[in-house]
Amino acid sequence: MPKIFLAFSAEEQISYQEFLIENGIDPQFFQSAANDQTEIILGSPKLIVDLLTLVPNVKWVQSSWAGVEPLLEAKKKDYILTNARGIFGQLMAEFVFGYILFFEKNILDKIYSQQDKVWDKALPSSLKGKKIGLVGVGSIGSEIARVAKVFNMHVVGYTESSEVSTYIDEYFHGSDLPKMMAGLDFLVCVLPNTFQTRGLIDLQLMQNLPEKCVLFNVGRGQVLDEIGLATLLNAGKLRAAVLDVFKQEPLPQSDPLWTAKNLYITSHTSAPSFLEDVALLFLKNYQRYLSQKPLEFQVNFEKGY
C-alpha cells in the first residue's frame, strides 16, 4: 500500500491522521517524515513545496487549498496534483451574502443610530431584481449564483468559455467583460491566480462599473488592481468594496488600502479549509487512487487551475 505523508503543522498533522485512521486508513501507511518511499502527500501547498526535493517518487499530491500557486511555481511537476474543490462554495456564498445583506439592510447605519439614540426610520432595500456579476463561475461562483437566485437576483457570469451553471441568467466571454459590468449592483471576483487572470480587473475595467456597485474579491489578490480600486473608492466612484485576498499577505500596515474610503478588509478568512471537509475529499480520491480510477479535481499545470 502507498505511503502517505501529511504536510501540516504538528497539531494539524495529528488531527488529520486521527480522522483518517478513524475513517479506514491503516496507521502503518502514514510516515513521520517525507522520503523516497512517499507516494502520496496531503497538506498545505506552502509546506509541500519545500518537500518536493525529498520525495522523488511521489505520485499524487492533494492540496488542502483551492489555490496551489506555490506548487505551480516549483520545477517538479511529474506527479498528479489535485486541489480542494467543491468544499468552499457554501462558505464563500455565506461570506459574500453576509456583506451584501450588511449593505442592503443598512446594518451599520442602524448600529450608529442606536448608539446615538436616534429612531432611524430609513427603510432598507431588497435584493429582489438586483444585478450581481460573477467573474469566474466554477464551483464557488456557481454556488454564489445559486444563493443569489434564492433572493430573486439577476445573475450574470463571465467565464473563459464554459456555461455549466444553470443559475446564470446571462453569460459573457472574451472581450465582453466591460459590457457585463454595466448596471451591476454587485461584482464578485472568484478567479484563480493564473497568467491570464493577473491584473485582469484593472482601473480601466473597473471604470465601467456604476457608482452604486459594491466590488468583492474573494479569489486571488493578483487579479485586482488594488491601487486603481482605492482611487475609485476615494473618489466616490464605487459604493464600497470587500477584499479578503491581497497581492501581499499579510497586508502591510503602510498600505493605503487600510484607509481607503468604504473599503472592508478581511484577512483571507472567507473560506477556511476545515479538517473534516478536506479529509473527506481526500478519502474519496484515495479510494479512486487505490482503484486506479482518474482522480477528481486534477490541476492542469499549464493552465494553473
Residue 154 designated active-site = no
Question: Which one of 220, 239, 276, 296 is the catalytic residue?
Answer: 220
Catalytic: 268? yes
Q: What is the pLDDT of residue 162?
A: 87
249 catalytic per annotation: yes
Class of domain 3-86+273-290: alpha beta
Number of neighbours of residue 267 by Cβ within 10 angstroms = 12
Q: Which of 268, 288, 296, 302 is catalytic?
A: 268
Active-site residue identified among 18, 73, 249, 276: 249
Q: What is the pLDDT of residue 165?
A: 96
Domain 89-265 maps to which CATH number in 3.40.50.2000, 1.10.10.10, 3.40.50.720, 3.40.140.80? 3.40.50.720
Q: Which amino acid is at 161?
A: S
Parts of the chain belonging to CATH 3.40.50.720? 3-86+273-290, 89-265
Element (H, E) at 3: strand 3-7
Output the pLDDT for position 305. 87
Q: What is the pLDDT of residues 161-172, one digit of tens each?
A: 889 999 999 999
Mean per-residue pLDDT pooled into runs of 10, the chain (305 residues): 97 98 98 98 97 98 95 97 96 98 98 98 97 96 98 97 94 97 97 93 98 98 98 98 98 97 98 97 98 97 89
pLDDT at position 209, please? 98
> What pLDDT is recorded for position 125?
97
Query: Which H or E run contains 70?
Result: helix 69-73
One-letter amino acid at 120 equals: D
Render pLDDT for 1-41 as a digit per residue (tens, 0 to 9).
Answer: 999 999 999 999 999 999 999 999 999 999 999 999 999 99
